Chains A and B, each alone.
Chain A
Amino acid sequence: MSAADTAPAEDGPVTMMDYFMQLEYHELLCPVVRRYASQLLEGRLVGHKCPSCGLVYVPPRGYCPICVVETTDADEIVLADKGTVTNYTVVTPVQYYGQEETEPFVRASILLDGEGGMMNLQDIVDVPVDDVHVGMRVEAVWKPPGERNVDEISNRSWGSAEGCIDGWRPTGDPDVPAEQLRDKAF
């Protein structure tokens, strides 16, 4: 939308006005997220493994909300950049103000191999949207080191690796049976 859409006719009555509200938040990154971001720039996905229950949080939060215990650098582990799609949504973009996507795209949850850790809201690339499925094996598509940035990383831990990982592409490995993924997605 632009001012021109609602600009009054040169001599007609003015009946509408643009009311453009803009809120700009500046947020300091907490130390745990800063470390996560610096590791991402190095091409490493790291998380915190809860010393009590063993759940892996990526990005790390500095605490396990289930056990209510603090996690620190001592609980940091390097995670695999391969994993399995545990669930996904196909988003059909509506062209509202600010929407930059024009074609249907996927946002998937990915359970990482090995120690685990769940990446949410991830883009699946190099495969038609219709072919994405639960159990599909995928690997991270890292940006080249010189092109990485962590501008979109925030304290709210939405599983973001945006700016460092372009998305996840199928490895071609055999699927993981969906039964094995129960209780893994959250």
Chain B
Amino acid sequence: MECVLLRPVPEPPRTTHTIEFPYTRTLGPVIGPFLTGLRDQRILGARTPNGGVLVPPLEWDPATGEAIEPDLVEVGPGGTVETWAWVTQPSRKHPLDHPFAFALIRLDGASTGLLHAVDAGSMDQMRTGMRVTARWKDERIGHMTDVVFVPEAAA
């Protein structure tokens, strides 16, 4: 049998360049109220002329191009997981610093799935079709990360 010795190889010198762009974006007539709603612990959707409710809201119905109804409607805070993927090693830009699921969540009253994080504790707790509900941060600034979802049983 051949024996192979693995020696530690010194890492070649490398440099790090960091480029930062601190943009500020205007939110517009639909996303602005949507994020205002999140700050106020309300999840809002846009009604389309044919009776659908888009969450997150858009300014136009992607199916027909028609403008949405002017008033947003409240949905959730509960919903159903339509599909999900477990994140075993969150990156520093992920919404949670421990393993979690990214899930498409059909909130009660919505006709589309919202992509968001489910803080389920472990992958065993995740099921397609499971019920989840919103868990709000104490300090909310009007941002998508003001909320994460948790299994309804744990809420």
Whether chain B is bound by chain A comes out as: yes
Chain A residues with CB under 8 Å of chain B are 1, 3, 6-8, 13-29, 34, 37, 97-98, 150-154
**Contact yes or no, B26 A16, CB < 8 A:** yes
Q: Of all chain B residues, which has the CB nearest A13?
A: B36
Chain A hits for B36, CB < 8 A: 8, 13-14
Q: Of all chain B residues, which has the CB nearest A30?
A: B12
Closest 3 A/B residue pairs (Cβ): A14-B142, A19-B23, A21-B21
Chain A hits for B35, CB < 8 A: 14, 17
Chain A hits for B23, CB < 8 A: 18-21
Cross-chain contact of B27 among A17, A23, A26 (Cβ < 8 A) = A17
Query: What are some 24 contacts across the A-B interface (CB < 8 A)?
Result: A1-B24, A8-B36, A8-B142, A13-B33, A14-B39, A15-B26, A15-B32, A17-B143, A19-B24, A19-B25, A22-B19, A22-B20, A23-B20, A24-B17, A24-B18, A24-B19, A26-B15, A28-B14, A29-B14, A29-B15, A34-B13, A98-B20, A152-B15, A154-B17
Chain B hits for A150, CB < 8 A: 13
> Is residue B16 contacting chain A, with contact meaning CB distance below 8 A?
yes
Since A16-B26, A22-B21 are in contact, a sample of 15 more A-B pairs with Cβ atoms closer than 8 Å, ordered by chain A residue number, is A15-B27, A17-B143, A18-B24, A19-B25, A20-B20, A22-B18, A25-B17, A26-B15, A27-B14, A27-B15, A29-B13, A34-B13, A37-B13, A97-B20, A151-B15
Chain A hits for B26, CB < 8 A: 15-16
Chain A hits for B27, CB < 8 A: 14-17
Least CB distance from A14 to B in Å reads: 3
